[in-house]
Amino acid sequence: MTPHRHGPASLTAVDDAWPTAAEVADVLLFRAGHNTNVVILGTALLGVAAGIVGVFALLRKRSLVADALSHATLPGLCLAFLVATALGYSGRTLPVLLAGATVSGVLGVLCIQWLVRHTRLYEDAAIGLILSVFFGAGTVLLSIIQTLQTGTAAGLTHFIYGQTAAMSASDAWLMAAIAAIVVALAALLLKEFALVCFNDAFARVDGWPVTVVDLLMMALVVLVTVAGLQAVGLILVVAMLIIPAVAARFWTEKLWALVLLAAIIGGLSGYLGASASALLPRKPAGAVIVLVSGVVFVVSMLGAPRRGIVAAAIRRARLRLGIAADHLLELAYLASAAGRGATVHADDLAGLRRERGWGAAATAVIGAFLHRRGLGRFDAGAFVATPAGLERGRRVARNHRLWEQYLVSSADIAPSHLDWTVDQVEHVLSDPLVAELEEALAERGIDAHRRTRPPVTADNGSRL
């Protein structure tokens, strides 16, 4: 593992001591000295750039190509180090190393494309192959470097796990330049990027230079990946690309909003991650950045209003509750239509519960739901519907029969096969559709309210 990463010199952090509120405020408000500011600002800018680029990588389904790309930089880093050292320069010159990383990373991506295009291997196998073989070649070269000159190789392993604190002012300027390029390109070419991401075949037919746009998007991924190597390391840099984009995807369907949100999430993760790393001892920034964005991802996946899991679960539960209530109200309406009052008696209720598999708790929830809506309530083991509930039950029963008639007369389904599909559809027929069905069936001289089948049994005539 890399040597311990203490906070920058401006912060006299003692091991395992929590920072005071004043220290936290200093770091977050850029008052903690030049070095700390440089690191935090540079990482945040990198996060912004990675977030934006990641959106397009995600939409192009290239998330893991970016992973292979970052792993494939290792042999290039090592070779650049070896060549530079052999020529008598310092092997740790950043531009030289990054140039080597870029070359081998791009080579790796080209290899993936060749394998996918010219062999029968699927893309996932090609990605995994390039990722592991290039990284394996990198470890071989790393072991050569380690035996050649002891000590000088230490700088290279930083690129595997990242070392944010090593960021200099010029590195931060580099990040700023990259972020500016990415923002400018995303703003200028949003339409072109969107077109190629969502429908490249159409874009090609429509005369857009799809290959050029695609290469540009890939070049941005390369740029951000290589820039991120030093900050978060080549194993985790892919997280800076993917996670903000995936998290932002839960909140919006609009591309510009997606890009904006991903940039904010990425920037915030970088800012908080680098700050935490500066404040707390032994908190490698790369890992903290990824974990911060991971938290944002979890929150998004759970809590996003439309695509979030919680929202979806609530919607589903509400739908199921509504359907269950419909069943009960339908039964009440049929009872009242048969002249037995707006009441589902205990034995009919028991039959329904058996048929639908409602336990005591589910029945209670359904009762509470109906009561709150003023549709009916349980009374001494039976269910009594209000007039509003009866009306609702009448509509469900009508939908049921309408759909049955439609299936028999227009979809040629045997009457004995109806129940299952009808049971599902009766709850979701919209009012315009119901009107249309009534009209269509009336035109053919079919009475939508005629019974298709006789009651199943005399004593359980509730289900028509």
Partner 1 sequence: MTFNLALDLFPLTAAVLATLTCGLLGNFLVLRRESLMGDAISHAVLPGLVIAFLISSSRSPLLMLAGAAAAGLVTVVLIEAVRKLGKVEPGAAMGVVFSVMFALGVLLIEQAAAQNVELDPDCVLYGQLETLAWFTAPDTLAGLWAWHTVESIPRQVWLLSVMLAVSAAFVVLLYKELRITSFDPGLATSQGVPAGVMHYALMVLVAAATVAAFEAVGSILVIAMLIAPAATARLLTDRLDTQIGLSLVAAVLAAAGGYFGATLVPGAFDLPSVNAAGSMTVVAGVLVVAAAVLSPSHGFVAKLWRRRRLAERTAVDDLIATLYRGGETGYAALPHDTLRTALLGRRLDATLAAARRRGLIDDRAIGVSLTNAGRAAAAELVRRHRLWEQYLVDDAGLAPDHVHPTAEFLEHLPLAPATDATVDPHGQPIPDPDPDKP
Q: Which two tokens stand for residue 208?
A: 């857009």
Using CB under 8 A as the criterion, what x/- string covers residues 155-194 for binding partner 1?
--x--xx---------------------------------
Under rule CB under 8 A, which residues in 415-434 are in contact with partner 1? Answer: none
CB 38 within 8 A of CB 265: no
CB neighbours of residue 222 within 10 Å: 19
Using CB under 8 A as the criterion, what x/- string covers residues 34-73 for binding partner 1?
------------------------x--x-xx--x------
Q: In angstroms, give the least distance from the CB of 232 to partner 1.
A: 9
| 443 near partner 1 (CB under 8 A) | no
Catalogue the long-range contacts made by 141-145 (C-beta closer than 8 Å, 24 or more residues apart): 141/74, 141/75, 141/78, 141/79, 141/82, 142/74, 142/78, 144/78, 144/82, 145/78, 145/81, 145/82
Phi-psi region of 383 (alpha: psi -120 to 50; beta: other; left: phi over 0): beta
| 33 near partner 1 (CB under 8 A) | no
Dist CA 177 CA 190 (whole Å): 19
Dist CA 85 CA 151 (whole Å): 13
Q: What's the first-to-final CA gap in the chain, in angstroms?
A: 73
CB 234 within 8 A of CB 284: no
DSSP labels for 62-118? -HHHHHHHHHTHHHHHHHHHHHHHHTTS-TT-HHHHHHHHHHHHHHHHHHHHHHHHH
HSE-CB of 32 using CA atoms within 13 angstroms: 31
Q: In angstroms, give the least distance from the CB of 209 to partner 1.
A: 26
CB neighbours of residue 380 within 10 Å: 6
138, 155, 266, 393: which one binds partner 1 (CB under 8 A): 138
Dist CA 258 CA 197 (whole Å): 13
Dist CA 408 CA 404 (whole Å): 6
- Of 236 and 422, CB closest to partner 1: 236
| 137 near partner 1 (CB under 8 A) | yes
Q: In angstroms, give the least distance from the CB of 227 to partner 1.
A: 17
124, 347, 355, 379: which one binds partner 1 (CB under 8 A): 124
121, 183, 408, 446: which one binds partner 1 (CB under 8 A): 121
- Of 137 and 169, CB closest to partner 1: 137
Q: In angstroms, give the least distance from the CB of 178 to partner 1.
A: 21
- Give the chain's radius of gyration (CA, Å): 32
Under rule CB under 8 A, which residues in 239-278 are in contact with partner 1? Answer: 239, 242-243, 245-246, 249-250
CB neighbours of residue 275 within 10 Å: 26
- Of 78 and 328, CB closest to partner 1: 78
Number of residues forming the site for partner 1 (CB under 8 A) = 63
Using CB under 8 A as the criterion, what x/- string covers residues 305-344 for binding partner 1?
--x-x--x--------------------------------
| 139 near partner 1 (CB under 8 A) | yes
50, 196, 236, 265: which one binds partner 1 (CB under 8 A): 236
- The closest of 311, 366, 355, 269 to 54, measured between CA atoms, is 269
- Of 17 and 338, CB closest to partner 1: 17
> Which span (135-143, 175-183, 196-204, 352-360) binds partner 1, by CB under 8 A?
135-143
30, 107, 281, 436: which one binds partner 1 (CB under 8 A): 281
Dist CA 38 CA 166 (whole Å): 10
79, 235, 385, 441: which one binds partner 1 (CB under 8 A): 235
- Of 154 and 364, CB closest to partner 1: 154
Instruction: Name the site residues for partner 1 (rule: CB under 8 A).
Output: 1, 4-5, 15-16, 58, 61, 63-64, 67, 115, 118-122, 124-125, 127-129, 131-133, 135-140, 142-144, 147, 157, 160-161, 235-236, 238-239, 242-243, 245-246, 249-250, 281-284, 286-291, 294, 297, 301, 307, 309, 312
